[in-house]
Amino acid sequence: MTTQQIIEKTRSQKIGNKPVVVLPLDVWHQVEDELENLEMMRSAAFRKKIAKARSESKTYSSREVKKMLSL
């Protein structure tokens, strides 16, 4: 969903003297998800963990994974 589409779905109201913005709940969840993704991508520690995981060459068979997860 683009920023323009989000803006089109918003409504502004006043509570007391302060204006507030009302968003549908599904739009708010999308905004939260995008903010979390942005935060993760900007995190140096997160990028290092991803690089480390990608560089590891250890693989597991489905049997080993089931055993690890107690399935």
Q: What is the 3-state secondary structure (H, E, C) of 19-35?
A: EEEECCHHHHHHHHHHH
The predicted structure's pLDDT at residue 71:
87
State yes or no: pLDDT of 2 exceeds 80.
no
Q: Could you give the CA distance from residue 27 to residue 8 in angstroms, rounded to a whole number?
A: 11
Asked if 45 and 53 count as a contact pair (C-beta separation under 8 A), the reply is no
Residues pairing with 8 in the sheet: none
Each domain of the chain, given as residue ranges in start order, spans 3-68
Burial class of residue 63, CB neighbours in 10 A (0-12, 13-18, 19+): exposed
pLDDT digits (tens, 9 = 90+) for 10-64: 777 888 888 888 888 988 898 898 898 888 889 888 888 888 888 888 888 999 9
The predicted structure's pLDDT at residue 66:
93
